[in-house]
Structure 1
Amino acid sequence: ALGMMRFVFTRLALSGLVLLTFGCASALPAFNQPFTERVRLESDDLTKLEVAVRGSASEPVAVPENGRILLSFPALPRECSVYLFGIRIRDRTVENRKIIHVYRDGRLERKLSIHKLRKLAIDPDGYYTLRIK
């Protein structure tokens, strides 16, 4: 009985190892093309806010009184996405990483992905509206 349990356990362990080794893959996506997005921030005090794009060489941008900024996204560093049997289980494309950082008085207030930004409401002038409490 002990020999049979050892045999079954060994087979299960080897099967799991093979499954993890051969069923899992990492893929490095292509570089993104540089682009810009128009964002309008809403807050009680816009003068305390700054916005930065993580991974770019630029410094955080102070938010003007009207709350409207143009965020520039250069070709950003790539990160591998993870696939299990051809199904993406971890998406690390530029659009899905939280690379938009909003600071209030130098303290990180909010992180946002491009994907989430593009789901926000758009004002009549074409700016994504982001409310910061």
Structure 2
Amino acid sequence: MEARHTQLLPEERKLWDAFLRLYGREWDRYEYRVLVGPARPVLPGTAPEFRRMVEEVSRKRIDVIGWKGSEPTIFEVKPFAGSTALGQLLAYRSLWAQDHHWEGKIGLAVVTNDVHPADREVFERFGVRIFLVPL
């Protein structure tokens, strides 16, 4: 297992590895486990080591951001992707743009082995690229 995507679950790693073999050269570079949005507040007097832990685990985590030059694409890697993946991508785009004061285009993509036809239509309506890869 490579350190670049150790945060992914085993099935997600298989999907991502297949994606990289098939499409990986489309992007210049990748960032993994990108934290976005604010952390949950912690109670006053919380020990510093617990404060850091709560702050890290309570932030949203983008699976992968791929870069083509200066244009980011946010990837959600999920077996049998559906509306949950779409909601995550839309939230991540908003939070990442806010965190980075970004006003440019942000691509969205889902890497999956299967998408229900109704969900496919919704992904396309929101401009989310679908990468179907073998699991």
Q: Answer yes or no: same fold by TM over 0.5.
A: no
Q: Is the radius of gyration larger for structure 1 or structure 2? A: 1
